[in-house]
């Protein structure tokens, strides 16, 4: 179905607190004003059983291995595959707040290498992004923003050493365009500045 696609698939990615949800909304509003058809998705999808399982994990209800996590996260993308494909083939610009690029990074740090994720992608294909934009912030900024937002941190958000490894891996993948075309935006800037930088990148491909 990839060869018949008329729309675009855009990923906004990064560690917690990077502004993915806010920037997804702002980009949608901007593109809709231009008359484009937009659909958005957010992962994990906490409204679905898979997302609820992941929410329990993130809030330390139980532990799961990196391999199990990779499979569960990937199942979340597969669960949305048909909806994403349908939207793309109908000419929508699909914006995802996180995607398999997140799994590549987080579970990659935990011990699941890119080649293993690539095998999953080849065995159970999902739509490939036209671009993934990494919203770059420091672990310290992440913790400050999330604490201010909800007053507590999940197992990833409070582990600054882990997040430093994650940010390094995100940058590595973005610079190498691993899996798909990628770009980096400095998300330490103000919300309007970040939105403007994202739009400049997106406007080159849609």
- pLDDT by residue (tens digit) across 56-109? 887 777 788 999 999 999 999 999 999 999 999 999 999 999 999 999 999 999
Distance CA 97, CA 70 (A): 17
Map tokens 């597969």 to a residue: 78
Could you read off the pLDDT of 169-202 as tens digits, one per residue? 999 999 999 999 999 999 999 999 999 999 999 9
Own/partner long-range contacts of 143-149 (Cβ < 8 Å, ≥24 apart): 143/17, 144/17, 145/16, 145/17, 146/16, 146/17, 149/17
Whether pTM exceeds 0.85: yes
For residue 21, what are its two tokens?
Answer: 């949800």
Could you read off the pLDDT of 103-128 as tens digits, one per residue? 999 999 999 999 999 999 999 999 99
* Domain 2-42+80-202: CATH superfamily, name plus number: P-loop containing nucleotide triphosphate hydrolases (3.40.50.300)
């Amino acid at each position: 179905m990839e060869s018949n696609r008329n729309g675009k698939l855009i990923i906004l990615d990064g560690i917690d607190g990077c502004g993915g949800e806010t920037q997804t909304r702002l980009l949608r509003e901007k593109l809709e004003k231009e008359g484009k058809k937009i659909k958005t998705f957010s992962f994990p999808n906490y409204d679905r059983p898979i997302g609820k399982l992941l929410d329990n994990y993130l809030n330390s209800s139980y532990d799961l291995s990196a391999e199990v996590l990779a499979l569960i996260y990937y199942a979340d993308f597969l669960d949305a595959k048909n909806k994403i494909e349908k939207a793309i083939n109908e000419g929508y610009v699909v914006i995802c707040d996180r995607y398999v690029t997140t799994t590549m990074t987080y579970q990659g740090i935990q011990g699941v290498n890119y080649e293993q994720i690539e095998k999953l992608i080849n065995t159970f294909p999902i739509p490939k992004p036209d671009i993934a934009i990494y919203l770059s912030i420091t672990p310290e900024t992440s913790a400050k923003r999330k604490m201010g937002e909800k007053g507590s941190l999940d197992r990833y958000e409070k582990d600054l050493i882990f997040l430093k490894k994650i940010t390094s891996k995100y940058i590595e993948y973005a610079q190498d365009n691993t899996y798909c075309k990628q770009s980096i935006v400095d998300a330490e800037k103000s919300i309007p500045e970040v939105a403007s930088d994202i739009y400049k990148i997106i406007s080159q491909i849609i």
